[in-house]
């Protein structure tokens, strides 16, 4: 069990860095391709594909919604974004899919700990967006203090939603 958790965490970080590297290098397809490979390997290792598939689809659409929402409010501006469509780029949604693979496994300890997951979201979201900004893959359309406020509120709400949905998937 511990081996699978370690593999899950390492796979997530490898995927995250490949995706960010691809966005920095303007090779926007690299991240989604790495994510696809990681998810195939991940699904090969899991025992309940149906639950995992449902959770990954949910995560994809939630990530797409949140990143597109932030983009259209001019809060977070992604590199590789197609202006005429107003949709967040696939590389940014790929990060959500990689993250989702950890919630039913590495972050399983957060199950039913909604307050803790909310605090983690509030504290980690600004750091994640600021690290991506420092690497040049996103820019901010608002002041940094407003980006902190918006990202903290969103992740403070949606990280527990992720955990709640993963709990429901595991219970079904």
Contact call for residues 136 and 79 (beta carbons, < 8 A): yes
Give the C-alpha distances (Å, rounded to integers) separating 106 from 50, 61, 133.
Answer: 19, 21, 26
Contact call for residues 71 and 77 (beta carbons, < 8 A): yes
pLDDT per residue as tens digits for the range 50-105: 888 999 999 999 999 999 999 999 999 998 867 568 899 999 999 999 999 998 88
pLDDT per residue as tens digits for the range 129-171: 999 999 999 999 999 999 999 999 999 999 999 999 999 987 8
| pTM for the full predicted model | 0.89
Tell me the domain boundaries of the chain: 2-171
């Amino acid at each position: 069990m511990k081996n699978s958790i370690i593999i899950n965490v390492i796979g997530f970080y490898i995927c995250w860095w490949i995706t960010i590297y691809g966005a920095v290098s303007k090779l926007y397809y690299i991240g989604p391709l790495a994510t696809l490979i990681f998810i195939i390997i991940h699904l090969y290792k899991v025992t309940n594909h149906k639950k995992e598939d449902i959770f990954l689809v949910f995560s994809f659409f939630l990530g797409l919604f949140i990143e597109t929402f932030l983009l259209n409010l001019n809060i977070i501006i992604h590199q590789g974004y197609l202006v005429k469509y107003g949709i967040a780029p696939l590389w940014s949604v790929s990060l959500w899919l990689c993250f989702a693979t950890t919630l039913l496994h590495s972050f399983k300890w957060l199950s039913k700990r909604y307050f803790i997951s909310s605090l983690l979201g509030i504290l980690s979201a600004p750091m994640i967006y600021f690290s991506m900004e420092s690497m040049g893959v996103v820019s901010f359309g608002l002041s940094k203090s407003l980006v902190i406020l918006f990202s903290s509120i969103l992740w403070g709400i949606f990280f527990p939603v992720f955990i709640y949905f993963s709990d429901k998937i595991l219970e079904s």
